[in-house]
Structure 1
Amino acid sequence: MSLLAASLSFASHDAAEAVGDQSDPVQLLEAVQRCAEKTLIFTQAGGIYVPSKYRTVLTFIEDSIHEVAAPNPEGIFHPKIWALRFTDDDGALHHRLIVLSRNITQDQAWDTALVLDEMPDSADEDQPCLDAAPAAEFLRALPGLTTRGLDRQRSRQVEDLAATLSQVDLMLPEPFSDGELLPIGLDGSDTWPFADMKATKLLAVSPFLSPRAVTALKDMTPGTSSNKRTLLSSPVALDMLGPAITEGWQLRVLPMTSTDTPDLTDREQEQPHVELETSNGLHAKTVVLDLPKRRSVIVTGSANLTGHPAWGRSVEFNVLLTGPTRECGVQAMLGTGAGKPGLEDLWESYAPALEETAAQQEHEAERKIEQWHLALASARPVLDVRATGETTVEATLRLDMPRAEIGTTMIWPISLTHHAKTLSSRVQWSRLSRLNVTPFLAVETTLGSGATRVTRRRVIIAELSGEIEGRKHAAFREIIKDKADVLKYLMLLLNEASYAELVAEMDLVDSSSTGLAAVDPGRIFEDFALFEPLVRAIGRDPETLVRISTLMEQLRAAPEAEDLVPAGLDELWSTVWAIHAEVS
């Protein structure tokens, strides 16, 4: 659902406008179709949240999402970056890299975001910058991590973006003077950027901790009193470290509300482990060190302070930044005495529990469920679809069950919330509507009993096979129901003002009605509402004209074309397309 919101944002023709309205199915469909072919999401296998409500428009993002697994079986795929490329009216490219601790979710956790824009040609030669090449190489590695591989077109898209990104420098935000991109976990080597540093003051922020990582940081501040060494984390993580490991630190937590129930934490173990997520409270991962000569280092991104002690088991992406202590150091981050609000205005002191808590007791069960869902997603499930009627199908799940099955797992297509069945190597759903066929399968696993009973629900992606033709057309028709919807869709394609505003200005809406159903499609052509934007697009926006051409072909081929194509639209479009062909 967060990906749908992102599509609305990308498709907005005016950044000053509201992002969009997810309750408007036509606007949402146009936004998703505008972005889907240009968007690739690489996500941890078995780590997608189950939406509370299924929407038909999700059919159009299926090919954008690709599950991946970390090369190291003891880790997970955990980076949070956006690599974007924009094109202006003259064809010039502009790149942006966003490095976050935040997932593509609607979580309410505290996170960080670092936005790095391409250095403009007009920039001063002495302006500090970052080489974007490490990010480009990181992108190139992603197709090889997917559980199913990428088709040729998608692979070319990744390579094309990586090729142009590798040639640019990224501007460092003020007041930073130097920095480095830190891809982690792709080649099996350990990464620990603090190895040779000795700090006079230290602030570490991470919701998940391991004893060795925390001890390694503490060793970087020898002889420093505890009031110069601050650790901000979650209560569960600090409880799991215990008083002995946290001695010599000022411990802090964010104020907890009744709804703040952090998920899993990382406990130091010699056995394989997985770093998991929290949806509430603290989720940022940042370390700030004040070094000699009034310089400070900030390392921020996706990696928690877990490891043995170095990072490398999980795939991560961090950035190291350096700058003057006065503006980039621990004191500036805390806000203490700076006259500005800071972290110290928000947090509370904390003392670790002396005995094992209920949250700690549940931890191991939650870890096992997470690993089980990863194994299910990596098993490459297949959903075979067979027609049983004109509008109904039968769907059969085939899955090579991983070893070491745990607990009780239920499974269902996310479009069928009341059709959960016990997971096995073969599960069947009968008499489904074609609109309910989806590769997104919800899995819900319950482990334990009584006070330590744990249930976790996630989405895995199946490969669709069998009689699946016409799914996207059926989904399109579910949203585009009549001629008024077609006209609204066309106006959105053309980046015109919203359809509702347009018809209101033209006085085409019956004053007794509040909906778009009162619009007379024929009168829109009388007032040339589509003629002018179509003509403006000739020679200026060929991509949009190609998209409209695809739409018109789809409408003409539909059995219900007479119900969808407004009178005069076919003739108008044929003329515009002929002129476009001559110009191009």
Structure 2
Amino acid sequence: MLNPNSRCVYLEELRPPAGFTLDRAIATTFSLNLLALLMAPVSMVFSSLKEQDELLQDPVALLESLRQTAGHFAVFCQEGRISVPREDTLLYSYLERAVVEVQPPGGGVFHPKVWVLRFLGEENGKQVTFYRFLCLTRNLTFDYSWDTALVLEGRLADRKNAYSRNRPLSDFIRSLPEMAVRKVNPEIEEHIDIISDEILRVKFKTPEGFEDKLRFLPAGIKGYKRLPELDHYTRLLVLSPFLSGRALKSMIERGNNNILLSRPESLDALDGETFNALKDSGTSIYIMDSAAEKPESEFQEWENDFSGLHAKLYILEEGWDARLWTGSANATNAAFSGANVEFLVELQGRRSKIGIETFLGKDEEPDTILSMVHPYRRPEQLKDPDSVEQQLETALNEARKAVTDAGLFLDILAVGDKTWTLHLNTTRDLVLGDVTGRCFPVTIRETAEQSLEPLLLGDTVIFQGISLASLTSFIAFKLTAQAGNRTAELNFVLNLPIHGLPVHRDKAILQNIISSRERFFRYLLLLLAEGNENGAGPEMINAFLGGSGKGSVSSYDDIPLLEDLVRAFSRAPEKIDRIAKLVNDLKETEDGSRLVPPEFDQIWGAFLSLCKGGASD
């Protein structure tokens, strides 16, 4: 059922099926890495191009994927949990309209990790709407921990009545805008309305080995206050990186020969009463081998020795049957009490196919879960909690909460023709205590870093000399706490309300990325290569991206451009629309016009004449 040696790449699951294109998508995550999110549109758009890893390193490919998917997807994440990207690029600004920060109503955190993608295509001459649902245990980051991913697919059925089992999923999607800390823009509201309505009429196919029974299990939203209690089982497996005593004890009170798989530091942190209850119940406790990957920590002063486990999985056996729960919920009080917003899916099947023994495999066989874990042994002398570390972490989290509660917003003022100032303001008092802070727009990194001190005094933080292309609503914050001779730092990004943003900002980014006629040529090849088996296809663009080596492309004489344009007009007219939009956007300004080569203008003019001639015949 689950092969630990078969590891799917998160972003590959966003690729459209053959013959389909992405229409719209909704995603949720606790934490968010902007660079990881930049890569999502590449998977959504360039599914047929070879050497995708190379394209990810090319800003032209990223730019076109962002232009094609702009307004087509939204990501809801916990406020204050966007990480500061390690790479700076103007392209982050294209994500501003897609990122929605939220605060859950129950006082916990927004923790679900799902994608719902809507694709459009044709089958037998009829338009088909195809849905893909991802239920994940990881966030949209570059974490390489062990995780689980459930992929469900189905077509929109031509029926009036809903599939009742999809109602919780529809209600969850519809609840998302209600948790947003700022008003959601109309295009995202439209995505929510369409997807939450249509998803009711999608017959999802369960994975091989499972029966045609599934339950969507949201928690922490209206109508779904908390997760159902784990019940009706004679044996239970809990796989959870984080634990808390009350939730865990309630799970192992019933059942025999239960199994718990977690991280060593989480098990070490259990109180004596809970650990003794585990031993007395006969629960077998395992941890992952230390060779597993380590996730990143947002706190910079200490390094957590994680085991690399981030999956959440519950297998419940009763008689010949078994149920499997997978999703975002850890075995913690916050997850199962309704404080957090969570999402899981329950699958059902025969114990022989999806049960605990099948999941674990055999110790002596390679590539099984059991071969990658070993029994946990509680240290005789547990380390006392690091009180200084806890003090620093508490101070930083309180400071982050103060920043997010301060009602921050941005004003933009023009200074001359080509520079602007960016003003960071508060609507409520900001108090950080002993924590100090600095901030900067993510597009220009630390070169414009400013102290938060003016905000503490009721004044404004001003970033001066900002170019049009560098204006952004993504502001990074660096908070520093000190206790004795130890310091810790907490970094995060907020997507703030912004006033006075010039309407041509995105076109300035376009001109900045296409900064030369060579890059314009590269962009043109990219547009023609997308999904193309002939002409300026994958080999051509990869040769160009590879530089001046053997077989490289360097001029318009090296490709039959006019023929490729005519072929695209006949077979994929949307490519011509994209090229026309690119040319028109660039030619709106004098600087942009200089990026369009005269050789292309000549070929483009001939092509347009051919099109007009064909239309008049």
1:383 aligns with 2:414: no
Offset, 1:313: 0.9
* TM-score, length-scaled by structure 1: 0.84
- AA aligned opposite 1:77: F
In 1, Cα distance between the equivalents of 2:50 and 2:308? 30
Aligned ranges 1:551-562 → 2 under 5 Å: 551-560=582-591, 561-562=593-594
After TM superposition, the score normalised by the length of structure 2 is: 0.80
Q: More displaced, 49-58 or 371-380?
A: 371-380
Corresponding residue for residue 270 of structure 1: none
The answer as to whether partners of 1:409 and 1:444 remain within 8 angstroms in 2 is yes
Q: Output the CA distance in 2 between the equivalents of 1:117 and 1:575.
A: 45
In structure 2, the CA distance between the partners of 1:185 and 1:522, relative to structure 1 (3 Å rule), is same
Corresponding position: 1:458 with 2:492: yes
Aligned residue in 1 for 2:11: none
What one-letter code is carried by the residue in structure 2 that aligns with 1:329? G
* Structure 1 residues 24 and 515: CA distance shift in structure 2, 3 A: farther
Secondary structure of the corresponding residue to residue 529 of structure 1:
helix
Query: Contact 1:212–1:309 (CA<8 Å) still a contact in 2?
Result: no
**Structure 1 pair 29/187, CA: closer, same or farther in 2 (3 Å)?**
same
Measure, in 2, the Cα distance between the counterparts of 1:503 and 1:321: 40
Gap change, CA 1:322 and 1:158, over 3 Å in 2: same
Instruction: Tell me how far 1:533 sits from its aligned partner.
Output: 1.3
What amino acid does structure 1 have at the position aligned with 2:470? Answer: N
Please give the alpha-carbon distance, in whole angstroms, between the structure 2 residues aligned to 1:515 and 1:396: 51
CA distance in 1, matches of 2:203, 2:40: 26
- Report if aligned partners of 1:253, 1:350 keep a CA contact under 8 Å in 2: yes
CA distance in 1, matches of 2:129, 2:55: 29
1:456-501 Cα deviation digits (max 9, x unpaired): 2111112222353422111101111244433432443342559996
AA in 1 matched with 2:347: L
Aligned to 2:273: 244
Aligned to 1:422: 451
User: Hey, what's the Cα distance between the residues in 2 that align with 1:151 and 1:579?
Assistant: 42
Q: In structure 2, how many angstroms separate the alpha carbons of the residues matched to 1:579 and 1:83?
A: 44
Q: Residue by residue, what CA displacement relative to the aligned partner does 1:251-301 show, whole Å, maximum 9, x if unpaired? A: 222233698477599xxxxxxxxxxx998711111111221x211121110
In the other structure, the counterpart of 1:319 is: 345
Q: Deviations over 1:200-225 (max 9, x none)?
A: 3221111111111001101132xx3x
What is the aligned partner in structure 2 of residue 413 from structure 1?
A: 441
Alignment partner, residue 149 of structure 2: 113
Helix, strand or coil at the partner of 1:310: helix
Deviation at 1:411, TM superposition (A): 1.6
1:482-534 CA deviation, whole Å, 9 max, x = no partner?
A: 4443343244334255999659769x98x993499963336656652322212
Which ranges of structure 1 fall in alignment gaps of 5 or more residues? 123-128, 266-276
CA distance in 2, matches of 1:516, 1:530: 22
Q: Is the 8 A contact 1:286 1:301 kept in 2?
A: yes
1:101 to 119, 125, 137: 137
Could you say which residue in structure 2 is the equivalent of 1:29? 63
The answer for the alignment partner of 2:218 in structure 1 is: 183
Q: Supply the distance in 2 between the matched residues of 1:498 and 1:436 (Cα, whole angstroms).
A: 37
Superposed counterparts of 1:173-322, under 5 Å:
173-177=207-211, 178-187=213-222, 189-197=224-232, 199-221=233-255, 224=256, 228-247=257-276, 248=279, 249-256=283-290, 260=294, 263=297, 281-291=308-318, 293-307=319-333, 310-322=336-348
Amino acid at match of 2:315: V
From the superposition, tell whether residues 411 and 582 of structure 1 become closer, same or farther in structure 2 (CA, over 3 Å): farther
- Given that residues 236 and 359 in structure 1 are in contact (C-alpha distance below 8 angstroms), is that contact kept between their aligned partners in structure 2? no
Percent identity over paired residues:
26
1:231 corresponds to which letter in structure 2? Answer: L
Partner of 1:470: 504
CA distance in 2, matches of 1:340, 1:257: 15
Which amino acid in 1 is paired with 2:432? E
Opposite residue 419 of structure 1, the aligned amino acid is: A
In the TM superposition, what is the alpha-carbon distance from 1:84 to its structure 2 partner? Answer: 0.4
Task: Confirm or deny: 8 A CA contact 2:329 2:335 kept in the other structure.
Answer: no
1:459/1:252 Cα in 2 relative to 1: closer, same or farther (>3 Å)? same
The answer (yes or no) to whether the contact 1:46–1:460 under 8 Å persists in 2 is yes
- 2:116 aligned residue: 83
Write out per-residue CA displacement over residues 350-394 of structure 1, whole angstroms, 9 at most, x where no aligned residue.
234554445676346435534542452354421222222333222
Contact 1:408 1:445 in 2 (8 A): yes
What is the CA deviation profile of residues 98-155 of structure 1, one whole-angstrom value per residue up to 9, with x for unaligned ones? 0001111101211110001116879xxxxxx993332222111111211111122221
The answer on whether the counterparts of 2:402 and 2:432 sit within 8 Å (CA) in structure 1 is no
Inter-partner Cα distance in structure 1 for 2:392 and 2:310: 21
Q: In the TM superposition, what is the alpha-carbon distance from 1:42 to its structure 2 partner?
A: 0.8
Offset from partner CA, 1:225-270 (integer Å, 9 cap, x none): xxx12221222221221332122233222233698477599xxxxx
Aligned with 1:513 (options 545, 548, 553) = 548
Superposition deviation, residue 172 in structure 1: 1.1
Stretch deviating more after TM superposition (442-451 or 318-327): 442-451
Distance (Å, rounded) in 2 between the aligned partners of 1:45 and 1:263: 17
Q: Which runs of 5+ in 2 are unaligned?
A: 1-34
Q: Is the 8 A contact 1:380 1:463 kept in 2?
A: no
Q: Distance in 1 between matches of 2:610 and 2:351?
A: 61
- Residue in 1 aligned with 2:76? 42
Report the equivalent of 1:445. Answer: 479
After superposing the two structures, state which structure 1 stretch, 553-562 or 187-196, moved more: 187-196
Give a deviation string over 1:308-359, Cα, whole Å, max 9, x none: 6834111111011121111211111111369563222112322345544456
Give the paired residue count.
552
CA–CA distance in 2 between the matches of 1:450 and 1:580?
79
Relative to structure 1, the CA distance from residue 252 to residue 180 in structure 2 (aligned partners, 3 Å threshold; closer, same or farther) is: same
Answer yes or no: is the 8 Å Cα contact 1:183–1:317 preserved in 2.
yes
**How many angstroms apart in 2 are the aligned matches of 1:102 and 1:215?**
25
Separation (CA, whole Å) in 1 of partners of 2:306 and 2:47? 31
CA RMSD of aligned residues (A): 3.6
Q: Give the 3 Å change call, closer, same or farther, for CA 581–8 of structure 1 in structure 2.
A: farther
The answer on whether the counterparts of 2:41 and 2:65 sit within 8 Å (CA) in structure 1 is yes
Post-superposition CA distance 1:180-204 (Å, at most 9, x none)? 001111127543433442x332211
Task: Identify the residue that residue 332 of structure 1 maps to in structure 2.
Answer: 358
Structure-2 residue corresponding to 1:345:
371
Match of 2:27 in 1: none
Most deviating of 444-453 and 108-117: 444-453
- Tell me, yes or no, if structure 1 residue 366 matches structure 2 residue 386: no
